[in-house]
Structure 1
Amino acid sequence: MTSSTLRRTPLLGVAGLVVVVDQGTKLLASSQLADGRIVPLLPGLLNGQLVHNTGAAFSLLRGSVQWLGVLSLAVTAGLLIWVMRHRAAPFWQGMAVAFLLGGTLGNGIDRWRIGHVIDFLALVPINFPIFNPADVAINLAVLCFFIDLWSSRGSKAPS
């Protein structure tokens, strides 16, 4: 497998796209689901249901908006510093950083702007916490980090 790289500009573009999709869909969900209704998005799989989350993933640390806002800011700053110090990154590592940056920034904007994170995607077949596109991006980042770790494992010479 050849090792491709992801340069800084496309990496920031992916992160920016995540933020735009996240914030745009949250705005739409807030206006369309404010009355408490549940709307099938993909019937039998995914519903739209508005929830205001003052915690982190799975509503952990509920009510810790300020602390989580500071954490979002710190992670975003750390990732931006990392991006500025690296002109390019291995593809999967770069995608992981891009998704993590976009997801962290998307949820961080909510925390700082309105005091909670807007969640609106509800899985129908299973009882799973309601989430949003930034959460999806953060989970994709974890997957990309694992792919990067797995694919780089075979390319390193044994010591």
Structure 2
Amino acid sequence: MLFYIISVIVLVADQAAKWIVRTHMELGEIIPGFGPYLHFNYYENAGTAFGLFQGSGRYFAAVAALFVAAVLLYRRKGKLRGPLLEAASGFMVGGAVGNGIDRALYGQVTDYLVFGQSGGILNLADLAINLGWLLGLVYLVRAEISERRLRRNRL
């Protein structure tokens, strides 16, 4: 259940934020946020992360759909169990669907969050995907630590 709750919350929040940006900001407009740590910059990305593969946005909608299908298949087989993997996969799927909708409908993704001086522009879906990967990494590290403890106790 946690998987579905997180997926839906991420998807709704992402699409609502993108709608607000598209309807209340001009393309290229910058709005100061919290000092040097965060500001808003409306950008339409027709590629992938870091602006790679510009003009290929619609193809990556299919990649998002395949990713979501794979996660759902693994969930059905019982391979993604436990709160950490439920949350991780929920964040990733919610983000993938959010960006996939943009790519399918508009051929590009609405980005608007700039952290620090890096210049990289993200959206809530991107943040959710990154959080999902981070939680997945935490799961793997915890599993490795548990496995090492078990092996040590057997000796």
Q: TM-score, normalised by structure 2?
A: 0.88
SS in 2 for 1:89: coil
Normalized per residue, the structure richer in helix is 2
Aligned residue in 1 for 2:133: 142
CA contact (8 A) 1:33 1:48 kept: no
Structure 2: gaps (5+ residues): none
User: Alignment identity in percent?
Assistant: 29
Equivalences for residues 99-138 of structure 1 within 5 A:
99-123=91-115, 125-138=116-129
Please give the alpha-carbon distance, in whole angstroms, between the structure 2 residues aligned to 1:45 and 1:101.
27
Deviation at 1:105, TM superposition (A): 0.6
Deviation at 1:106, TM superposition (A): 0.6
Deviation at 1:147, TM superposition (A): 0.4
Aligned residue in 2 for 1:70: 62
Worse-superposed segment, 103-112 or 64-73 = 64-73
4+ residue segments displaced more than 6 Å: none
Please give the alpha-carbon distance, in whole angstroms, between the structure 2 residues aligned to 1:39 and 1:110.
22
Kindly provide the CA deviation profile for residues 114-145 of structure 1, in whole angstroms up to 9, marking residues without a partner as x: 1110001112x322310000000111111111
Deviation at 1:87, TM superposition (A): 8.8
Aligned-pair Cα RMSD in Å: 1.8
Structure 1: gaps (5+ residues): 1-8
Q: Indicate which of 82, 90, 111 corresponds to 1:90.
A: 82
SS in 2 for 1:48: strand
Gap change, CA 1:60 and 1:35, over 3 Å in 2: closer
Deviation at 1:70, TM superposition (A): 1.0
Q: TM-score, normalised by structure 1?
A: 0.86
Aligned residues: 150
